[in-house]
Amino acid sequence: MNEGALENLRLELRRGSVILAVLGELRSERYGYVLRRALAERGLEIDENTLYPLLRRLEDQGLLTSVWREEEKRRKRFYRLSPDGAATLQRLTDEWRRLNASLEKILDGSTHRSARVSGE
Amino acid sequence: MNEGALENLRLELRRGSVILAVLGELRSERYGYVLRRALAERGLEIDENTLYPLLRRLEDQGLLTSVWREEEKRRKRFYRLSPDGAATLQRLTDEWRRLNASLEKILDGSTHRSARVSGE
């Protein structure tokens, strides 16, 4: 398998998590740079070119609100979760927990040792 | 927020998990119907129109192999993980665990009670 295809699968796996992480982190108001740093500190590195379009999309969908405000002499756009966003976050978090419970059962390695034979 | 947009977010969250679940389940050889039933038994319902194209795509990428074989007087296509698929499964599983660890930290509700205020 070429690295491009693996990278695509990895991105597909990450995409949903990134949305959930952004919504979760924006229960507190943050501007882009601080949001990105907060996510990275929790182990989720997100490219600016992924994060900023995602913020605009989530705002267009009514899940986030934003305000421009001056801080340290620079105008910054602060985002936070809307009430709709909070309800959506709750539903997606529930879904995520259900998915994880299913995956844990499926991936539980004890009955499927063959997966590691030809692994890295 | 309209239900269509929420459904799209839910699908984005599921997509990566479904790929991981299919690869994990196909450490043992199965044909489509039995695979679908096994996933459903573990709580992951997948539409036929999602599963069959995904199986073909993963085979095209070299992650699965398939053979046609007769069983109970009907020809069925049996899929299983290839060596490349096993290596990919291992890497995606590692990535999934890392993502979950990050999300657990972010979504840990204790410091962010406001997310529930306007929930369902």
Predicted local distance difference test score (pLDDT) of residue B117: 45
Predicted local distance difference test score (pLDDT) of residue A118: 42
- Does the residue B88 lie in any domain? yes
CATH number of domain containing B78:
1.10.10.10
In 3D space, the residue among A17, A29, A112, A14 whose CA is nearest the CA of residue A64 turns out to be A29
What gap in Å lies between CA B103 and CA A81, rounded to an integer? 17
Query: CB distance A86–B119 less than 8 Å?
Result: yes
- Does the residue A117 lie in any domain? no
The domain of B100 spans 15-106
Task: Name the minimum distance, in Å, from the CA of A66 to any CA of chain B.
Answer: 16
* Digit-coded pLDDT (tens) for A40-77: 999 999 999 999 999 999 999 999 999 999 988 999 99
Q: How many structural domains are present in chain B?
A: 1
- Does the residue B74 lie in any domain? yes
* Pairs of residues, one from chain A and one from chain B, whose beta carbons lie less than 8 Å apart: 177
Q: Which residues of A touch B87 (CB under 8 A)?
A: 1, 118-120
Give the number of other CB atoms < 10 A from CB of residue B114. Answer: 14
Task: Name the minimum distance, in Å, from the CA of B74 to any CA of chain A.
Answer: 28
Three-class SS string for chain A? CCHHHHHHHHHHHHHHHHHHHHHHHCCCCEEHHHHHHHHHHCCCCCCHHHHHHHHHHHHHCCCEEEEEEEECCEEEEEEEECHHHHHHHHHHHHHHHHHHHHHHHHHCHHHCCHHHHCCC
* Digit-coded pLDDT (tens) for A6-45: 899 999 999 999 999 999 999 999 999 999 999 999 999 9
Determine the residue of chain A that is closest to B40 in CA distance: A102
Task: Name the minimum distance, in Å, from the CA of B41 to any CA of chain A.
Answer: 9
- Does the residue A118 lie in any domain? no
- Does the residue A112 lie in any domain? no
Question: Residue A111: is its pLDDT beyond 90?
Answer: no
- Does the residue A31 lie in any domain? yes
What gap in Å lies between CA B58 and CA B64, rounded to an integer? 6
Query: CB distance A19–B1 less than 8 Å?
Result: no
Question: Residue B72: is its pLDDT beyond 90?
Answer: no
Instruction: Report percent pLDDT > 70 for chain B.
Output: 89
Q: What is the mean pLDDT of chain B?
A: 89
pTM of the model: 0.85
Q: State mean pLDDT over B19-23.
A: 97
Q: State mean pLDDT over B89-118.
A: 79
- H or E segment to which residue B96 belongs: helix B83-107
What gap in Å lies between CA B39 and CA A13, rounded to an integer? 18
For the ranges A19-33, A44-58, B9-23, B103-117, which has the lowest average pLDDT? B103-117
